[in-house]
Chain A
Amino acid sequence: MPLIEVRDLSRVYDLDSGRVTALGGVSLDIEAGELVAVMGPSGSGKSTFMNLVGCLDRPTGGHYRLDGAAVETLSGDGLAELRNRKLGFVFQQFNLLPRVDACANVELPMVYAGLDGKTRRERALNALARVGLAERAHHRPMQLSGGQQQRVAIARALVNQPRLLLADEPTGALDSRTALEILALFQDLNREGVTVVLVTHDAEVARHARRVVRFRDGHVIADIRQEPADARAALAVHDSAAPMPEAAE
């Protein structure tokens, strides 16, 4: 059984100016353990697709099963629980809470999972160690670089051991070297068994995925498998060409 099973999924918006079909009957399977890039220009339907897959929105037609659960039949609370237990989100703008430290940011999904404070702290520190930020656990977002903030966000996405990591333009706000680091981290996590879906308009980012799904005008126009570029190797090349101090710990 695929992790994500999408059949004839559509999303139509009723606007004052008429009906707009953002997604028009998409069928797609994603297996556990894949690293998929969802590509397309703006307005292609890739964001709508991601919102539906991320259980943030409901389809107007078709079916979506996430890890066996029929998502379109779930209530608002059911969707919230699914987002909490099975999904981890990474955003372009990191979306960290500015008032609390990295550790508390990572704890947030566990707060809504109803875990006690001690377990949360323990698991949050583990997740931060996994993204290489054990030393920065008690820094506030303002005291961290962009790449470090995105690592905190990834740690937050991972902390409830989700079935799927959904990353929406995760490197969009980062310089090219930091972007490579984040992509390398996704590749590492994928090798450890985490299923990753990267939504991007950037072909350079998509090169690092084993599978690329292209959207245009609300439809899938291509679904290709490729040999992914190795972000770690690219980092090594990058650093030997222009030596730079390590941006991240």
Chain B
Amino acid sequence: MSLIEAIRSALSAIGANALRSALTMLGIIIGVAAVIAMVAIGSGARERVDSQIKSLGANLAIIQAGNVTQGGVRLGAGASSTLTDEDARAVAAEVEDVVASASVITTRAQAVYAGTNWSTTITATDLDFFAAREWGLAEGRLFEPEELRRGEIVAIIGQTVAKNLFGDSDPLGQMFRIRNVPFKVIGVMAGKGQSALGQDQDDVIFVPLDTGRRRIVGRNYARDRSVQTIMVKFASEAAINPGIEQTRALLRQRHRLMEDQEDDFIVRNLTEIANTATAAASTLSWLLAAVAGVSLLVGGIGIMNIMLVSVTERTREIGLRLAVGARQRDVLSQFLIEATTLATIGGAVGIALGIGAATAIARFAGWPFVISPQTILIAVGVSGLIGVFFGFYPARQAARLDPIEALRRE
């Protein structure tokens, strides 16, 4: 009997007891679905972290101006303006393995060009920012050191701003206004897309740090050298944590904090934040793996059970097959193929269900998911193997039947 015929005959045997077969497959279905969902979510989470790191720039730490206590009132993060661009320069100069240390001040403002206007994020910063974010230009140029030093009114715009303010015309060299200050466009950034949180990173205008501080943010910052955040890029992932410790020590010293005083700044390891997401996803993955393992085992036992029932029910059929010339191995392979077909169908249904579950979980938790052809092949292979493994004992029972006894059985 050819394999295709054997499978067709197995399918007809399975179809003859459709409900029973479906119930038997349930364990395999749930098990395989859990495996598929697990792998899809696990690799999706990994991919998201990778893309987050890629879009942020790798090995970043962020220093925010932090909590200050004034007369017993704790004002929370960002309330003070304790950080300065001199801090940023000091970090660059004194902390080991620092590749870039950018001062950043961010605000929102309306940009006006000819008849149109557009509300966007204004980021006042220096050249280290572009190095830290690993972000290049689409056209034009970055700020000249002289422009930064003198606080000239030039701007580099993101793709979204370019499209909304200038439409199809070339923005390079054009003048537009922010808070009535005329800026000249000297560059357009390359597209960066959405951030991990769904923000449009291209909806931004960069201006030199001093220009932003004096002309856009206004008086508050004009008196001093303060900045909102300092973005520090380290040479490697391993350098981040020692670097953060050194940075803290350096800033405490520069801010003349006493032993018993809290930090007036907050340092965050962005790579670590991204990795937390992976940890959560991997917890879920392990949970699903446990469900999958148990379900597959129970499913396998279910298949073994139903095959034993089937062998008992079809004893006369087996006797007849032996009488007309089936060898033991013919009967063995018939029942093995039946068990394997049963398990594989369960696996296929499980794959469909698993993709559905992964889609649902991904949508609910806001995680991406990835389903590779290898995952599906492995799932089919595993369910087939379960069929062979748990089908072997019943099939051997069938093959070892005595034809006389089998034919006599009612």
Q: When the two chains form their complex, are residues B321 and A76 in contact, meaning their CB atoms are under 8 A apart? A: no
Q: When the two chains form their complex, are residues B325 and A80 in contact, meaning their CB atoms are under 8 A apart? A: yes
- With contact pairs A56-B403, A80-B327, A113-B325 given, residues A95 and B320 touching in the complex (Cβ less than 8 Å): yes
| Interface: A84 (CB within 8 A) | yes
Q: When the two chains form their complex, are residues A56 and B325 in contact, meaning their CB atoms are under 8 A apart? A: no
- Give the CA-CA distance A101 to B407 in the complex, in Å: 21
Q: In chain A between 18 and 39, which residues have their CB closer than 8 angstroms to a CB of chain B?
A: none
| Interface: B309 (CB within 8 A) | no
Q: How far is the CB of A81 from chain B (nearest CB, A)?
A: 7
Q: When the two chains form their complex, are residues A76 and B328 in contact, meaning their CB atoms are under 8 A apart? A: yes
B-side binding surface: helix, strand, loop or mixed?
A: helix
| B326: chain A residues within 8 A (beta carbon) | 80, 112
Chain A's interface size range is 20 to 34
| Interface: B365 (CB within 8 A) | no
| B12: chain A residues within 8 A (beta carbon) | 99-100
- Give the CA-CA distance A160 to B324 in the complex, in Å: 10
Interface membership of chain A positions 64-104, coded 1 if the CB is closer than 8 angstroms to chain B and 0 otherwise: 00000000000011001101110001010101010110000
| Interface: B16 (CB within 8 A) | yes
Q: When the two chains form their complex, are residues B404 and A56 in contact, meaning their CB atoms are under 8 A apart? A: yes
Interface membership of chain A positions 195-223, coded 1 if the CB is closer than 8 angstroms to chain B and 0 otherwise: 00000000000000000000000000000
| Interface: B134 (CB within 8 A) | no
Q: How far is the CB of A228 from chain B (nearest CB, A)?
A: 27
| A156: chain B residues within 8 A (beta carbon) | 324
Name B316's contact: one of A76, A89, A95 (CB within 8 Å).
A95
Q: In chain B between 1 and 48, which residues have their CB closer than 8 angstroms to a CB of chain A?
A: 1, 5, 12-13, 16
| Interface: A54 (CB within 8 A) | yes
- With contact pairs A51-B404, A57-B404, A80-B322 given, residues A99 and B327 touching in the complex (Cβ less than 8 Å): no
Name B327's contact: one of A51, A76, A93 (CB within 8 Å).
A76
Q: When the two chains form their complex, are residues A112 and B327 in contact, meaning their CB atoms are under 8 A apart? A: yes
Name A48's closest neighbour in chain B (CB-CB).
Answer: B404
| Interface: A229 (CB within 8 A) | no
| A93: chain B residues within 8 A (beta carbon) | 316
| B325: chain A residues within 8 A (beta carbon) | 80-81, 83-85, 109, 112-113, 160
| Interface: B94 (CB within 8 A) | no
Interface membership of chain B positions 371-410, coded 1 if the CB is closer than 8 angstroms to chain A and 0 otherwise: 0000000000000000000000000000000011001000
| B16: chain A residues within 8 A (beta carbon) | 99
Q: When the two chains form their complex, are residues A109 and B407 in contact, meaning their CB atoms are under 8 A apart? A: no
| Interface: A108 (CB within 8 A) | yes
Q: When the two chains form their complex, are residues A108 and B327 in contact, meaning their CB atoms are under 8 A apart? A: no
| Interface: A111 (CB within 8 A) | yes
Q: How far is the CB of B107 from chain A (nearest CB, A)?
A: 78
Q: When the two chains form their complex, are residues B13 and A108 in contact, meaning their CB atoms are under 8 A apart? A: no
Q: When the two chains form their complex, are residues B324 and A77 in contact, meaning their CB atoms are under 8 A apart? A: no
| A84: chain B residues within 8 A (beta carbon) | 324-325
| Interface: B323 (CB within 8 A) | yes
| Interface: A245 (CB within 8 A) | no
| A97: chain B residues within 8 A (beta carbon) | 317, 320
| Interface: A117 (CB within 8 A) | yes
Q: How far is the CB of A59 from chain B (nearest CB, A)?
A: 13
Name A83's contact: one of B13, B316, B324, B407 (CB within 8 Å).
B324
- Give the CA-CA distance A80 to B401 in the complex, in Å: 13
- With contact pairs A56-B403, A117-B5 given, residues A77 and B327 touching in the complex (Cβ less than 8 Å): yes
- Give the CA-CA distance A129 to B270 in the complex, in Å: 83
Q: When the two chains form their complex, are residues B323 and A56 in contact, meaning their CB atoms are under 8 A apart? A: yes
- Give the CA-CA distance A135 to B328 in the complex, in Å: 34
| B322: chain A residues within 8 A (beta carbon) | 56, 80, 83
- Give the CA-CA distance A184 to B317 in the complex, in Å: 28
Q: How far is the CB of B21 from chain A (nearest CB, A)?
A: 14
| A85: chain B residues within 8 A (beta carbon) | 325
- Interface centre among A51, A84, A111, by most chain B C-beta atoms within 10 angstroms, is A111
| B316: chain A residues within 8 A (beta carbon) | 93, 95
Q: How far is the CB of A85 from chain B (nearest CB, A)?
A: 7
Q: How far is the CB of B170 from chain A (nearest CB, A)?
A: 73
Interface membership of chain A positions 146-167, coded 1 if the CB is closer than 8 angstroms to chain B and 0 otherwise: 0000000000100010000000
Between-chain CB contacts (< 8 Å), 14 pairs = A76-B327, A77-B327, A80-B326, A83-B322, A91-B407, A95-B319, A95-B407, A99-B16, A108-B321, A108-B324, A109-B324, A109-B325, A112-B1, A160-B325
Q: B-contacting residues of A (Cβ < 8 Å)? A: 51, 54, 56-57, 76-77, 80-81, 83-85, 89, 91, 93, 95, 97, 99-100, 108-109, 111-113, 117, 156, 160
- Given A56-B403, A76-B328, A112-B330, 15 more A-B residue pairs with CB atoms under 8 Å apart are A56-B322, A56-B404, A76-B327, A80-B322, A80-B326, A83-B323, A84-B324, A84-B325, A89-B323, A91-B320, A95-B316, A95-B319, A95-B407, A111-B1, A113-B325
